[in-house]
C-alpha cells in the first residue's frame, strides 16, 4: 500500500468486491492492512441486475465479508440497461455507484482489484487501437482520482495465480465470472492469446516511466499556459504551445476539453490532432467532445457547448447536487418550484429583453454565456443566472455554484479556477 499513499491517520478505505478471486484477495489483504493502521474497511458490491444470480452472489460476498469482520454494502444498478456495449456501461455504473457512496460517507480511498494480468491485457488492447505514444502505450495507473475519490490499485505488481494461491492458503472461496468464458469480449481473446502475445512486464515498466515523464511535461505546460475560470471555461496562451512535442499538445488539449465538458475520457486522437493544428493556426469555430474551441482576445477559448448540455435538475428545497458533471450546486432557502438547466441562446435573449443584464465583473465571453447554468421558474420564466449576476426578481433563492469538473485538468487531481464561487 505504500505505493498508493500517503494516507491519513486511521484511514477509512472502501474496496470494490465482486466475489471473484482478485477482489476477494484484495478485501482480505486490505482488512489486515487497515487493522494495522487502526482504520476501517468497507466492502462494496455492485449488483448490476444483468444476471438472475447477481443478487445471490452479492449476498454470498456479504456473508464472506461478515465472516472476516468486514463491513459490507450492496449497491444496486437500477433503471434501463443498454442493449450494446454492456460491459462498458456496467463499468461506468459501478464506478459511479461506488464513488457516490464514498462521497456520501466521506471516504477518500476506493481500492479496486486490478492485477498484473489485467495490466498486460490493457496495454495490449491500447496499443492495438493505435496508441503508440507515451500515453497510449501506458497501462493502468496505481493511483488516480475520480470526482474527489482516490482510486487505488495496489495489486498491479501481483499475478492472478498468486492471488488464488493466497486465497487457498486462507481457505477462502471465490466466485467465477461467467463472462470470462466468452471470446466475443476483446479482453478474453487477448487473455487466451487469440489476438497475439501480451507485452512483457519490462516493456510495461518502460512505457510507464515514459508516461510519467510525459505527464510531468503536460502538467508543466498546462500550469504555464492554461487558466480555468470558475464559470466553467478555459483560456489558453497559445503562444506558449509553439514548438512543443505534438503528443504533449494532444494530451494537454484533451485534458482541458475533458475538464470543460465533464467527460471521463479524452476525445479521440484524430479530432484532437486537428483541433491542436487549428488552435495553433489561430482558427476558431471548432466543436470537439462537447466543447467549443475558439479564439478570444488572442487566447484560445475552450467552453462547454450549450447544445450538448441535457442535464435538468428540479429545485425541491435545500439540496446539493452535481449538475452537468461539472458544477456542485448548493441550494439553500425556500423558493417556488423550478429547475436548473442550461441558459441557452433563448435565455441570453431573455436577459437582454428584461434590461436587467448587469455589467459582467468577471468578463465572461459571449460564446460562453449560453452554456451557463440558469435557474428557470416552473412557469418557464428565467429567474436567475448566478455567473452573470442576473437575479432581477429577488425571490429569496440562495444558490452557490462551484466548478467541480468530473475530470481534473491535471493528473494531480487539483483544478485551479480563477474567479470565485457564485452565490445569489
pLDDT, residue 360, reads: 57
Domain interval for residue 22: 2-199
- Cα 77 from Cα 80, distance rounded (Å): 9
Largest alpha-carbon pair distance within the chain?
75
Among 407, 381, 411, 424, smallest CA distance to 232 is for 407
Question: The C-alpha cell of 377 is what?
Answer: 421558474
Give the global pTM: 0.73
Say if residue 159 is in the same domain as residue 299. Answer: no
Say if residue 23 is in the same domain as residue 79. Answer: yes
pLDDT, residue 280, reads: 93
Flag whether 12 is in a domain.
Answer: yes
Say if residue 89 is in the same domain as residue 186. Answer: yes
End residue of a domain, out of 274, 291, 307: 307
Say if residue 319 is in the same domain as residue 259. Answer: no
CA 342 to chain centre: 21
Say if residue 298 is in the same domain as residue 344. Answer: no
Flag whether 213 is in a domain.
Answer: no
Buried b (16+ CB within 10 A) or exposed e, 203-226: ebeebbeebeebbebbbebbeebb
Flag whether 208 is in a domain.
Answer: no
Listed in sequence order, the residues at least 6 apart from 88 whose beta carbon sits closer than 8 Å to its beta carbon are none
State what percent of residues in the chain have pLDDT above 70. 89
Kindly report the CATH number assigned to the domain that includes residue 150: 3.40.50.620
Say if residue 246 is in the same domain as residue 190. Answer: no
Say if residue 284 is in the same domain as residue 340. Answer: no
- Cα 420 from Cα 403, distance rounded (Å): 9
pLDDT tens-digit map of 303-339 = 999 999 999 998 887 788 889 989 988 887 666 678 9
Question: The C-alpha cell of 345 is what?
Answer: 441562446
pLDDT tens-digit map of 137-194 = 667 888 988 878 999 999 999 999 999 999 999 999 999 877 766 666 777 787 777 7
Flag whether 291 is in a domain.
Answer: yes
Question: The C-alpha cell of 86 is what?
Answer: 454492456
Flag whether 293 is in a domain.
Answer: yes
Say if residue 29 is in the same domain as residue 16. Answer: yes
Flag whether 220 is in a domain.
Answer: no
DSSP string across 265-284: SPPPHHHHHHHHHHHHTT--
pLDDT, residue 128, reads: 77
Cα-atom radius of gyration of the chain, to the nearest Å?
24
Sites in the chain below the pLDDT cut of 50: 359, 361, 396, 412-424
Say if residue 177 is in the same domain as residue 88. Answer: yes
Question: The C-alpha cell of 58 is what?
Answer: 452479492
The sheet that has 319-323: what strands, in order across it? 319-323, 327-332, 398-403, 422-423
Flag whether 212 is in a domain.
Answer: no
pLDDT, residue 274, reads: 93
Say if residue 294 is in the same domain as residue 237. Answer: yes
pLDDT, residue 130, reads: 64
The label of the residue with cell 501481483 reads 158
End residue of a domain, out of 265, 282, 307: 307
Say if residue 325 is in the same domain as residue 272. Answer: no
Phi, psi of 419 (to 5 degrees): 100, -150
Say if residue 143 is in the same domain as residue 17. Answer: yes
- Cα 44 from Cα 20, distance rounded (Å): 13
End residue of a domain, out of 307, 331, 364: 307
Domain tally, the chain: 3
Buried b (16+ CB within 10 A) or exposed e, 249-283: bbbbbbbbbbbbbbbeebbebeebeebbebbbeee
Flag whether 87 is in a domain.
Answer: yes
Cα angle for residues 57, 91, 104 (degrees, 5° grid)? 85
Amino acid at each position: 500500500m505504500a505505493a498508493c499513499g500517503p494516507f491519513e491517520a486511521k484511514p477509512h478505505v472502501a474496496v470494490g468486491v465482486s466475489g471473484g478471486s482478485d477482489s476477494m484477495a484484495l478485501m482480505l489483504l486490505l482488512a489486515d492492512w487497515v487493522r494495522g493502521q487502526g482504520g476501517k474497511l468497507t466492502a462494496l458490491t455492485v449488483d448490476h441486475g444483468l444476471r438472475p444470480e447477481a443478487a445471490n452472489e452479492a449476498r454470498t460476498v456479504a456473508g464472506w465479508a461478515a465472516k472476516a469482520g468486514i463491513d459490507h454494502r450492496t449497491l444496486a444498478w437500477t433503471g434501463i440497461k443498454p442493449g450494446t456495449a454492456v460491459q462498458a456501461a456496467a463499468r461506468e455504473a459501478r464506478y459511479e455507484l461506488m464513488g457516490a457512496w464514498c462521497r456520501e460517507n466521506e471516504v477518500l480511498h476506493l481500492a479496486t482489484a486490478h492485477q498484473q494480468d489485467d495490466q498486460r491485457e490493457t496495454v495490449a488492447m491500447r496499443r492495438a487501437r493505435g496508441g503508440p505514444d507515451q500515453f497510449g502505450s501506458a497501462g493502468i495507473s496505481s493511483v488516480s482520482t475520480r470526482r474527489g475519490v482516490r482510486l487505488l490499485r495496489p495489486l498491479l505488481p501481483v499475478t492472478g495465480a498468486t492471488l488464488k494461491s493466497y486465497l487457498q492458503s486462507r481457505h477462502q472461496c471465490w466466485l467465477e465470472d461467467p463472462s470470462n468464458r466468452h471470446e466475443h469480449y476483446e479482453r478474453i481473446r487477448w487473455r487466451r492469446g487469440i489476438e497475439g502475445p501480451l507485452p512483457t512486464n519490462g516493456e510495461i515498466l518502460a512505457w510507464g516511466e515514459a508516461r510519467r515523464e510525459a505527464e510531468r511535461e503536460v502538467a508543466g505546460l498546462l500550469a504555464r499556459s492554461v487558466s480555468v475560470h470558475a464559470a466553467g471555461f478555459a483560456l489558453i496562451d497559445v503562444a506558449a504551445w509553439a514548438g512543443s512535442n505534438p503528443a504533449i499538445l494532444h494530451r494537454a488539449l484533451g485534458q482541458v476539453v475533458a475538464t470543460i465538458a465533464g467527460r471521463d475520457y479524452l476525445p479521440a486522437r484524430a479530432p484532437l490532432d486537428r483541433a491542436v493544428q487549428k488552435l495553433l493556426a489561430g482558427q476558431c469555430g471548432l466543436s470537439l467532445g462537447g466543447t467549443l474551441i475558439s479564439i478570444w482576445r488572442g487566447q484560445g477559448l475552450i467552453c462547454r457547448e450549450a447544445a450538448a448540455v441535457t442535464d435538468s435538475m428540479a429545485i425541491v428545497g435545500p439540496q446539493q447536487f452535481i449538475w452537468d458533471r461539472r458544477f456542485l450546486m448548493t441550494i439553500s432557502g425556500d423558493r417556488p418550484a423550478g429547475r436548473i438547466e442550461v441558459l441557452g441562446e433563448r435565455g441570453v435573449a431573455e436577459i437582454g429583453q428584461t434590461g436587467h443584464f448587469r455589467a459582467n465583473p468577471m468578463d465572461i465571453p459571449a460564446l460562453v454565456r449560453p452554456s451557463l447554468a440558469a435557474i428557470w421558474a416552473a412557469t418557464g420564466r428565467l429567474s436567475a443566472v448566478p455567473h452573470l449576476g442576473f437575479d432581477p426578481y429577488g425571490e429569496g433563492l440562495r444558490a452557490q455554484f462551484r466548478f467541480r469538473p468530473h475530470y481534473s485538468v491535471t493528473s494531480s487531481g487539483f483544478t485551479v479556477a480563477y474567479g470565485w464561487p457564485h452565490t445569489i
